[in-house]
Amino acid sequence: MSVETTSSRFDTIKWLIVFALVAVAVVGNSYYSDQSLLYRVLGIVALAILAALVALQTAKGAAFWLLIKGSRTEIRKVVWPTRQETVQTTMIVVVFVVIVALMLWGLDSFLGWLVSLAIT
């Protein structure tokens, strides 16, 4: 899914608007710290949605949206394992981790014993 997007001469202005909206949200949250948290969160969410809508109007925003849509398409193609396959694979991993841990513990104990013989 390849789409050529050309940068508009207004993209820079749109990005400045996005950054200004984010700055207004941050400063407004600080300035209105005495207000209810609910109102501040609603204000931040509204400004974030507005900033996202403006950002999506740019060339990079449109390319990002295409990436998101393509990712959703690819996720639908994935064949996810069943619960039984997941449990079996997890158990195999756990068993091998325990076996390797025991082997390393045995090797460490043996080498520690050899070093203690050499020291004493």
Return the pLDDT at 29: 93
The first and second tokens of residue 9, run together, are 């001469």
pLDDT tens for each residue of the chain, 120 residues long: 544 456 678 899 999 999 999 999 999 999 999 999 999 999 999 999 999 999 999 999 999 999 999 999 999 999 999 999 999 999 999 999 999 999 999 999 999 999 999 998
Q: What is the pLDDT of residue 3?
A: 47
**Domain range list for the chain:** 1-78, 80-120
Distance, in Å, from the CA atom of 68 to the CA atom of 63, rounded to the nearest integer, reads: 9
Residue 68 to residue 77: CA distance in whole angstroms:
15
**What gap in Å lies between CA 60 and CA 45, rounded to an integer?**
22
